[in-house]
Amino acid sequence: MRSIDFSLQATDGQARAGRLHLARGVVETPVYMPVGTQGAIRALPPELIRPTRTQILLANTYHLSQRPGADLVAKHGGLHDFMQVDLPILTDSGGFQVYSLKPEVSEDGVAFRYEVDGKRTVLTPEISMELQQKLGADIAMVFDECLPFGVDRAYAEDSLARTHRWEARCKVAHTRPDQSLFGIVQGGFWPDLRERSAYAVREIGFDGYAIGGLSVGEGPDVMKEVLDATTPHMSPDHPRYLMGVGRPQDLVEGVARGIDMFDCVIQTRHARSGMLYTSQGRLRITDRRYRNDMYPIDTSCDCATCSRFTRAYVHHLFRVGEILGTTLATVHNIHWFHRFMRDMRQSIIDGTFETFRKGVHQTYPEVDDGPPAGQHEVTGSKRAARRKKRKHGRKG
């Protein structure tokens, strides 16, 4: 018996407006999921999450399994009690993070060195399922291999077959009836491999289906080509999730190709650097021009930050290094993206999606972009390693 129910309310072309019915609430799609990698959305207290209109959020199995450990989370009754969040949660299996650590890959699983202390760690499909069931999120993801951009086809074909075997093992190992399990379509950047994967994963059978292996440096045009080659072969009756994508122009292009769910960290990461999203485009609140600006961040936004505080005040907080500045910026960015997705959903219902899509590209043109198509979380230890590398480079 499935622990998830998905229904469509409207379509406009391939764009879909739907509803996910989960035990902890109904999620209206298309939806963006904020990322709480380590069991928290950075700089955002739990009581401020729901007021941003967040419907569902994401946490990461790999990071939480290392610190504090899935057993400790289970002692709290699972992630919801651990984080004190009463919203639906999805846990990523950690495949992207494992891929970024250059693991030893075998039929059994992967072995790698944990980036914090160098401890050798092993992950298999069975271990990933055990960890995610202990974490107790509403939706778990299968364990797969995420391929880097530029990998050769021979390896991609071998990896794809192995990933499908891993996904079948995940389904057998996953026994928690109150937790849904999503499969992941891989296949690198070859249309025929993506098509093959879409049908193979559907044949195994899951509660929802994700597209993985994008946002790895391929650029937006290639990403759209991969989506064009993939989504037509995915189940029309299940939710579709594009992993690690979050720019406004990428979100609208994903929805235009039938995607329902997205996650990304740029909303919170950019907030911490003072980069804020508005209906007129992005602004950097740390710029001197906002020192005496008495307007809210976005005059059309009704978030808690825009309702009470001026650009001048938020600018001041960043200049003096006050953590409240990061919190107010994070509240705004997350709220803004939820409103963005809600307006996109309404355009699908109204049959005006193409007009909405055109407006997004006028406000957020490709040339205005800074980050790549998708952003995945970088841990503090990785930042420290990069700083150390730069420091040593300067000394040399």
Active-site positions read 92, 263
CA–CA distance, 113 with 77 (Å, rounded to integer): 29
Locate tokens 């249309």: which residue?
Answer: 191
What is the side-by-side strand order in the sheet with 5-12?
A: 5-12, 15-22, 25-29
d(CA 247, CA 249): 6
Compute the C-alpha angle 278/85/4, nearest 5°. 90
DSSP one-letter code for 289: G
Residue 18, amino acid:
G
Nearest CA-CA partner of 299 in 318, 319, 266, 276:
276
DSSP string, 30-58: SEEE-B-TTSS-TT--GGGTGGGT---EE
- Amino acid occupying residue 358: K
| Distance separating alpha carbons of residues 124 and 135, to the nearest angstrom | 16
The packing angle between helices 125-135 and 153-173, to 10°, is 50
Separation CA 396–CA 394 (nearest Å): 5
> In this structure, what token pair is assigned to residue 318?
């960043």
Q: Is the dihedral of CA 276, 277, 278, 282 positive or negative?
A: positive
Q: What six digits make up the tokens of 367?
A: 């040339």
Which residue is listed with tokens 């299996």? 93
- Chain-centroid distance of CA 305 in Å reads 23
Q: Are 209 and 227 in contact (CB under 8 A)?
A: no
Count, in order, helices (H) and strands (E) of the chain.
15, 16
CA-based R_g, the chain, Å: 21
Residues in the chain: 396
Query: Which residues are CB-contacts of 378 (< 8 A; sequence separation ≥ 6)?
Result: none
